[in-house]
Structure 1
Amino acid sequence: MRSRVLAVLGVSAAVLALAGCGSEMNGTPSAASGAPAQSQSQSSAPQSSPEAPPSAQQNSSSDGSVTPQGTKLKLGDKAIVPFKSEGKTGTIGVTVKSIDKGVEADLALLDLGDKAKGMTPYYVRVTVSNESGTDFSYTSLGLMNALLPDGSEAQGVSVIGTFDKCDSGDAGKAFTTKGATYDSCVLAVAPAGTTVTGASYNEGEYSDQAPGTDYGSKPITWQS
């Protein structure tokens, strides 16, 4: 018998998983609720003057530096971002490899009912790499969104269970050495007349590790 897959159609793109949390595969409970709140001094810090977002050419991934917030990349470009899990810190790479268009029938397994009528699914395929060689086993990628041509967020679908066409994936036990990789996927839908053309990395939880990496405030974006 085929197992049932549950899905929720949201107003923004799906959270692949709580970044830095252990997977249920190893029985580690989520630690997201214990994340420290932003201090008053941080929230009241003066804002810097607006600057043009960095381009792909300014993304110095080869020397180990992290990608600045607001950087605009093309599909296939890698962003290097800070990451931590269970007290261990380091960096990971996030590469949006492709954006694949599905068909409405793909959504039948997700039991979305009338909400899926007229909607086309898009699969944002991402490769995550271990850039620092830190033991990040069983972690998952943080918050990513699919983007429409005007830069707004596409409607996302959070899936509970296995959806073969777009597996969110996690790092597994071998994600402990520099160069280790795993694949993930963001599922989003768009109505007739529009398309998903890009993606953004919106995780701001690790901005204390490196200045200028509050991606929740200024995401890294990829556009085709």
Structure 2
Amino acid sequence: MRALAAAVLLFALTACSGGDTEKSSDSTAGLKVPAGITLSEPGTEKKVGESLAIGYPSADDEAGTALALGVTRVDKAPRRDLSLYRIPAGMQPYYVRVMVGNRGPAEASFPEGLPWWLHVAGDTLTPATAVPGRFAKCAPPKVGRTLAAGATAKGCLLFLVPRGTAVESVDFQPGGVTTAVRWRP
């Protein structure tokens, strides 16, 4: 019986002493968030006109950076603005004005372009449509494959959605749908 009690006590002490493998509360994994920046969690929703900050590509990435993001306007585009271009029948163009600022500490990489999506009725995500570089009515943010720490880019994204379809949100989605933050009109 004493042997059993000793084994249980030894097991309990071993289980409680696992602290050597845990990180201390003052050491954090992930990116070093610049002073004055509070990161929003995936799933955060804002109103158009508000901004937020996220860890990019995620807050857990030590090589990541903090991005400040905002959607300032969502407008139906006048068809006359696009009279020189072929818009598919039954589609409604939207101008979405956005801002992306890299607050550091690292460079942000966008190998596939900025991950902005228009979320429309029917739980459908629509990507931005490429526009000619000289289209002044909706010039995209000047962001290449990277955005340096400290840099900010503002611009307009053109989205084409089926006419009569309600716009539910503008989403910045750096990974799967669970990473999205969104702005509701």
RMSD of the TM alignment (CA)?
Answer: 3.5
User: Which residue in 1 is equivalent to 2:41?
Assistant: 68
Pairwise CA distance, 1:164: 2.2
Equivalences for 1:1-224 in 2 at 5 Å?
Answer: 63-83=36-56, 89-112=64-87, 115=88, 117-132=89-104, 134=106, 142-148=114-120, 151-154=123-126, 156-159=128-131, 161-171=133-143, 176=148, 178=150, 180-204=151-175, 216-224=177-185
User: Which residue in 2 is equivalent to 1:19?
Assistant: none
* Greater C-alpha radius of gyration: 2
The answer on whether the counterparts of 1:104 and 1:118 sit within 8 Å (CA) in structure 2 is no
Distance 1:138 1:145 in 2: 14
Distance 1:169 1:139 in 2: 15
CA distance 1:189–1:171, shift in 2 (3 Å):
closer
Structure 1 residue runs of 5 or longer lacking an equivalent are 1-60, 205-214
The answer on whether the counterparts of 1:78 and 1:95 sit within 8 Å (CA) in structure 2 is yes
CA distance 1:151–1:186, shift in 2 (3 Å):
farther
CA distance 1:216–1:165, shift in 2 (3 Å):
same
CA distance 1:128–1:139, shift in 2 (3 Å):
farther
Q: Higher relative contact order at CA 8 Å, sep ≥6: structure 1 or structure 2?
A: 1
| Residues paired across the two proteins, number | 146
Question: 1:62-88: per-residue Cα shift (whole Å, max 9, x none)?
Answer: 84232111111111221212347xx96
CA distance 1:162–1:151, shift in 2 (3 Å):
farther
Residue identity in the other structure for 1:126: V
The answer on whether the counterparts of 1:124 and 1:187 sit within 8 Å (CA) in structure 2 is yes
Question: 1:110-153: per-residue Cα shift (whole Å, max 9, x none)?
Answer: 334xx2x2322101110112322655699996211112256532
The answer on whether the counterparts of 1:148 and 1:198 sit within 8 Å (CA) in structure 2 is yes
Distance 2:152 2:74 in 1: 19
Pairwise CA distance, 1:103: 2.4
Q: Residue 194 of structure 1: SS of its match in structure 2?
A: coil
User: TM-score, structure 2 length as denominator?
Assistant: 0.61
Q: Residue 168 of structure 1: SS of its match in structure 2?
A: coil
